[in-house]
Structure 1
Amino acid sequence: MKEVLSPKDIVQSGLCIGCGSCVAQAHAPQVQMDFDEYGQLKPQGPSSWYQRGSERFTQTCPFSPAAKNEDYLANLLYPTAPHQDAALGRFQSNYVGHVAEEDFRMQGSSGGMVTWVATELMRKGLIDGVAHVIATKDPQADGRYFRYRIARTEAEVREGAKSRYYPIELSEVLSLIRETPGRYAVVGIPCFIKAIQLLRHQDPLYRERIQFTLGLFCGHMKSARFVESFAWQMNVPAEQIQQVEYRQKDPTRPANWYTAKLTMKDGQTVNRDWWHLADGDWGAGYYMNSACNYCDDVVSETADVAFGDAWVEPYSSDGRGTNVVIARSPLIESLIQNAMQEGRLQLQEVDAKFVEQTQAAGFRQRREGLAYRLTWSKDGVKPCKRVAPDATSQSRERKIIYRLRYYISKGSHQMFKLARKWQKPTLYINWARVTLSAYHGFAYHQGKFGEMMTRFKQLRGH
């Protein structure tokens, strides 16, 4: 590995997640984040910046092999945490349940806990703003459907409810935090929270102003092409989409039956269950950022509090949504405990094994799968992870699944690019149907050809 890395080194190695931390630190208007040819956000700037290695970048990029890892950061951040677990990291307590007050639960994709904690911090006067992701008002003019912004009122905080499976980046909001004194909370996925903590570790200003971090459990980052694929498969023009909802909530259906909903400029709405989309199986990895292949943090181990969905029964069948929560900060733990006693939160404490089971597929991909992927040859910067390379512990079937997932992710970017260039949506959709059928054949049916064909016919019927 080179002693000092540049943004170009990380991007060309497939390790850039597009968090924007490097751009925020550049303090130069000609350096910015923008979409690449595959609909993923990447740093853009003059070669004098893009190709120049720096010690600061090497230490603050979340996927840099020289950056402090999650264990180091968590030990520094939560030294008094009474529990430490191989999957969850350090923590005070874990919970499963939902928000009982007002309509937090129905407004969110899950149990409403992310928005509730952010709102409670503001109600208690502990912060002046929340950096979170919201839908843009005019996505066609803005060039993206979602972006970070700072909420300064409870009403604005609640506008950030719902899941967003779309590329976003931190550069603009980090610049605002630098320019505007105050106390802030930041909501983000694991690698973004790690980027924040690495930045706080290096920079006293961010350490002072970013008071709380609220982490989300994460499967992987999607590209912007996922929205366009929705449009192709729902037979609507992508350039007319005004609003995207990835998980339309329906209390009468199981929470894990995802339904995508698009709202057009004329007010028309269309929706489709993910199961009927050619690329709708999350685990298959369509549009996944390549950096996600080298992540070993499922549950935001460096966040003061982290939230996920309770993907185990009976919770996964409850269409109203249920959260699992990992509290690491003693202060946030006390906020949760007080609200439970007041009846505002309907939570019960659970052990680390329960939380791990709710994210079992994610941990297989980020631990067993990662160990296998680390044995593959790779050009450029080599990742340094807490998982040791291992190509012997996995079964033959699991290895095939990890290989399929990797090539589906890579191929989805390339095939969508071709279909988009040639204006032939069916080129991509048919490819996605075939690859998903193959993936399901190995993932669920031990490679039986007949089962693959049955799944292909089901997808073709929609």
Structure 2
Amino acid sequence: MAETPNRTPVTPDAPFLSIGFTSHALCTRCGSCIGVCPFDAIGQTPDRYPDLRPDKCTACELCGEVCPGAKLSYGDMAEQVFGKRFLDEGFDGRVRATYVGYATDEGLRNGGAGGGVVTALLAHLLNSGAVDGCLVTRMNPEQPWLGESFIARSVEDLRASQGSRYQIIPHNAIWAEVRKLKGRYALAALPCQVHGFRLLQKADPELAERIPIMIGLFCGGSLEPWLVTELLEARGIRPDEIRDFQFRGGEWPGRMQAILRDGSARPLHYSNYKDGAYNYFTALYMPERCQTCVDGSSEFSDLSVSDAWTRNTSGEYKFKSHSRILVRTDRGEKLLQGAVEGGALHVTDVSGDASYRTHKMQTKRKGATAPLRVERWKKQGRRVPEYDRPAPDASFRERLSERVVTALLTMGRRRGFRYPLIAFLTSRWAIPLIRLRLWLKKRKYARRA
């Protein structure tokens, strides 16, 4: 690694830099390049892409080495994490055991998106002294329409991080703070951020050793930063009128709502999160790189957490306000066991229940549609991520579905299309559509029964 700045300024098209400087279409905006830079040579644009500071860049090449955007070898990563090379073990990846559970602390359980499991795991690590802080996210207190990363050093800090944030946040940029501090830290991360961290373990093992445990989050696709401000605009709310924004506020499964300065909650749509809102938004606000991501379950984390959406034959959720926990590594197993034995979590082993092995909506979005999109775009000559994982066999119907979804996502890049549509879909005029959706869902489960 170079110790002093280059005399010749580095330009953004230098081949050793992370891909975000030359292709926004391939940049995951995971923040890995920002966080790994030892010289603070990379900032962020307003849209959260990396921004080069040429006068500080030393051409150390670390940012390119930790970038998961342009190329990702699943075989290499599997060998690194599990000690065995393989390309594909299904959407959920390699799993030792599967559980559903919730935080035993009622405050944490009620404050979390899915039973407070991630917060309870992190709180256990803090309380047991295993880590000195947790790398998590929250909505910026000064600009509550934007998410940000921060280091939680207490359970009270963790409470501020509770709830999901379906917005692009370059979370791995927080590594830059870790580099300056002493201690050990736990990381809660999305799949692209998990990939960046595994690359960090090779590129800068000394820094990576400071983060001994990683909790992976399921992800169906992040959303562009301007989603929140457009939702507020559609409901006639100015950004300076809110003090917080909740992507899943209120009773489980939650709904998007603005918390106004007087403390009152203002719902921003009429359906709950699960029955429409997120599906609408991913169809209109999903970034291009998220559309080509094929990991929806954080396959290379120590353990992964998602909502437990599994329903019974009547269409009712088997476990409300619970999360599903997929244990992957020795460290993940030790963490879960310690949290349960320490009384932080209540869990049920569902490893033998086949209905918990997949997450159907995400399986379709990232396990089938995204690989087909990558394959088709590559044939068209478009820049796409390089994977060593082949696209699955697909029927004509599946290929047609991919084209329709892609067309909608492409139209969603245009404000003139997406804003009127989202204003309608989140208004009272869309209530009949919501009722129709719920009726069709009940009918489907009634037929199965």
Q: TM-score, normalised by structure 1?
A: 0.78
- Structure 1 residues 331 and 375 mapped into 2: Cα distance closer, same or farther (>3 Å)? closer
Q: Distance in 2 between matches of 1:235 and 1:33?
A: 29
* 2:189 and 2:215 in contact (8 A); partners too: yes
1:57 CA drift (Å) = 3.8
Partner of 2:447: none
| Percent identity of equivalent pairs | 21
Q: Secondary structure at the match of 1:22?
A: helix
- Structure 1 residues 161 and 431 mapped into 2: Cα distance closer, same or farther (>3 Å)? closer
**1:176 counterpart letter in structure 2:** E
Which of 286, 301, 306 lines up with 2:284 in the alignment? Answer: 286
Following superposition of structure 1 onto structure 2, how do residues 129-278 of structure 1 map, counting pairs within 5 Å?
129-139=133-143, 145-170=146-171, 172-250=173-251, 255=253, 258-273=254-269, 275=271
Of 111-120 and 342-351, the range deviating more from structure 2: 342-351
Cα deviations by residue, 1:268-309 (Å, 9 ceiling, x for unpaired)? 431144539998352652210111122111111111111001
Root-mean-square deviation (CA, aligned residues, Å) is 3.8
Q: Distance in 2 between matches of 1:24 and 1:101?
A: 33
Partner of 1:458: none
Q: Distance in 2 between matches of 1:190 and 1:48?
A: 32
* 1:131 and 1:150 in contact (8 A); partners too: yes
* 1:308 and 1:325 in contact (8 A); partners too: yes
Of 7-16 and 292-301, the range deviating more from structure 2: 7-16
Partner of 2:371: 371
The reply to whether residue 399 of structure 1 matches residue 399 of structure 2 is yes
Q: Distance in 1 between matches of 2:106 and 2:324?
A: 19
Cα deviations by residue, 1:234-257 (Å, 9 ceiling, x for unpaired)? 222234222111112315xxx3xx
Following superposition of structure 1 onto structure 2, how do residues 297-316 of structure 1 map, counting pairs within 5 Å?
297-314=295-312
* 2:78 and 2:84 in contact (8 A); partners too: no
Unaligned regions of 5+ residues in structure 2, if any?
1-12, 440-449
Q: Secondary structure at the match of 1:139?
A: coil
* 2:119 and 2:158 in contact (8 A); partners too: yes
**2:357 counterpart letter in structure 1:** E
Partner of 2:415: 415
1:319 CA drift (Å) = 8.7
Q: Distance in 2 between matches of 1:207 and 1:319?
A: 36
Q: Secondary structure at the match of 1:275?
A: coil
- Structure 1 residues 16 and 117 mapped into 2: Cα distance closer, same or farther (>3 Å)? same
Q: Distance in 2 between matches of 1:184 and 1:276?
A: 34
* 1:219 and 1:298 in contact (8 A); partners too: yes
Q: Distance in 2 between matches of 1:237 and 1:13?
A: 29
* 1:279 and 1:286 in contact (8 A); partners too: no
1:171 CA drift (Å) = 5.3
Q: How many matched pairs?
A: 414
Cα deviations by residue, 1:103-154 (Å, 9 ceiling, x for unpaired)? 32111011211001111111121111101002222116xxx52211111122
Q: Distance in 1 between matches of 2:338 and 2:210?
A: 26
Partner of 1:59: 65
Q: TM-score, normalised by structure 2?
A: 0.80
Q: Distance in 1 between matches of 2:178 and 2:342?
A: 34
**2:77 counterpart letter in structure 1:** L
Q: Secondary structure at the match of 1:235?
A: coil
The reply to whether residue 103 of structure 1 matches residue 90 of structure 2 is no
Unaligned regions of 5+ residues in structure 1, if any?
420-424, 446-462
**2:70 counterpart letter in structure 1:** S
* 1:19 and 1:168 in contact (8 A); partners too: yes
**1:376 counterpart letter in structure 2:** R
Q: Secondary structure at the match of 1:162?
A: coil
Q: Secondary structure at the match of 2:165?
A: coil
Partner of 2:386: 384
1:44 CA drift (Å) = 1.3
Of 210-219 and 15-24, the range deviating more from structure 2: 15-24
Cα deviations by residue, 1:419-441 (Å, 9 ceiling, x for unpaired)? 9xxxxx648746999xx99x99x
The reply to whether residue 324 of structure 1 matches residue 319 of structure 2 is no
